[in-house]
Amino acid sequence: MRLGSGRSGRWKITVVGSGHVGATAAQLCAYKNLGDVVLIDIIEGVPQGKALDLSESAPIEGFDMRLTGTNDYADTKGSDIVVITAGLARKPGMSREDLRDVNANIVKEVAEKVSAHSPDCFMIVVSNPVDTMTWVAMKYAKLAKNRIAGMAGVLDASRFRHFIAAELGVSHDDVHSMVLGLHGEDMVPLPSHASVSGIPITELIPPDKIRGMVERTRDGGAEIVRHLKTGSAYYAPGSSIAEMVQSVVRDEKRVLPCPVYLEGEYGINGIFMGVPCVLGSSGVEKVIELKLSPEETALMKKSAEGVKKSVSQLKV
């Protein structure tokens, strides 16, 4: 069933959490005219203020979408897309797993509340550790597997693409990459599936520099946390969310790496993990299975074991 039947044919997009990531995602969805946006948060006044501030940029930025700030989940009723950014962000020295139990309770509550008002939505989970939090959200929102995905691989692949483009001094538009696995230290960047205008990066970049870019991609979020000290990344995550939303809203059927629910693909069952999938107006429309080397397959298995362990240790 196709999504998107809101006011005057517009899509209704709810962003839960009006911190840096949520506000940036809301901004980009509005600027791209993807739909009317509801920004919701538990802190009174913050989503209202940010929604009003964004609305006042409309005459300059040239968008006509309606933005609403609220603390009441009733205002999210009938949402076509729900983005969950709520939860604690990392601080220096913290891993994504350190956030698991606190964020699991937050995501559980959010999933139950939004699904009560929007049972047929497509949900994008951003809260960390995202592979585990997407599992929590699906369980408590009671969504079909095609109606939910995490945001991770799009961000990780964007970081990998940036490092490749910067190394070669070429346009980002000509660089393509794929990052699979969990969103963390055991993610699986694939140099074998990275290219510049169809030219494999293995023909353009020495192996030692490729290894360095792979490691920097795995450490991408932590590197930013170390710089910021009191927060985590939000510009690139916000852009990654908007890219996913756009693919669904405009039925672009983009092939994007996202944590989706696996039932045998890549030999993995019962968890969410990053794989290439087609995102369109029906949500997750297809999972694409790449041919992986034995080394890449082993890394995927290790990544999957990390997600399974995280899910098994949940206290929610």
The pLDDT of residue 231 is: 86
Cα distances (Å, whole numbers) of residue 39 to 44, 55, 82: 12, 12, 10
Residue 1 is predicted with a pLDDT of: 43
The predicted structure's pLDDT at residue 7: 45
Residue 114 structure tokens? 């939004």
Helix (H, G, I), strand (E, B) or coil at 35: coil
Given 20, 183, 193, 227, which residue is catalytic? 183
pLDDT (0 to 100) of residue 254: 98
Q: Which pair of structure tokens corresponds to residue 136?
A: 């929590």
Q: Which CATH number fits domain 153-311: 3.40.50.620, 3.90.110.10, 3.30.497.10, 3.50.50.60?
A: 3.90.110.10
Q: Is 183 a catalytic residue?
A: yes
User: 119-174: per-residue pLDDT in tens?
Assistant: 999 999 999 999 999 999 999 999 999 999 999 999 999 999 999 999 999 999 99
Q: What's the whole-number mean pLDDT along residues 26-39?
A: 98
2-16, 96-110, 152-166, 198-212: least confidently modelled range? 2-16
- Tally the residues of the chain: 316
Pairing of strands 122-125, 148-150: parallel
Residue 249 tokens, joined: 């809203």
7-150 with 153-311: one CATH topology?
Answer: no
Helix or strand or coil: residue 205?
coil
Whether the bond into 119 is cis, omega within 30 of 0: no
Closest CA to 125 of 221, 201, 15: 15
CATH 3.40.190.150 fits 7-150, yes or no: no
Band of residue 181 on the pLDDT scale cut at 50, 70, 90: very high
* Model confidence band, residue 8 (pLDDT cutoffs 50, 70, 90): low
pTM, to two decimals: 0.95
Domain boundaries defined on the chain: 7-150, 153-311
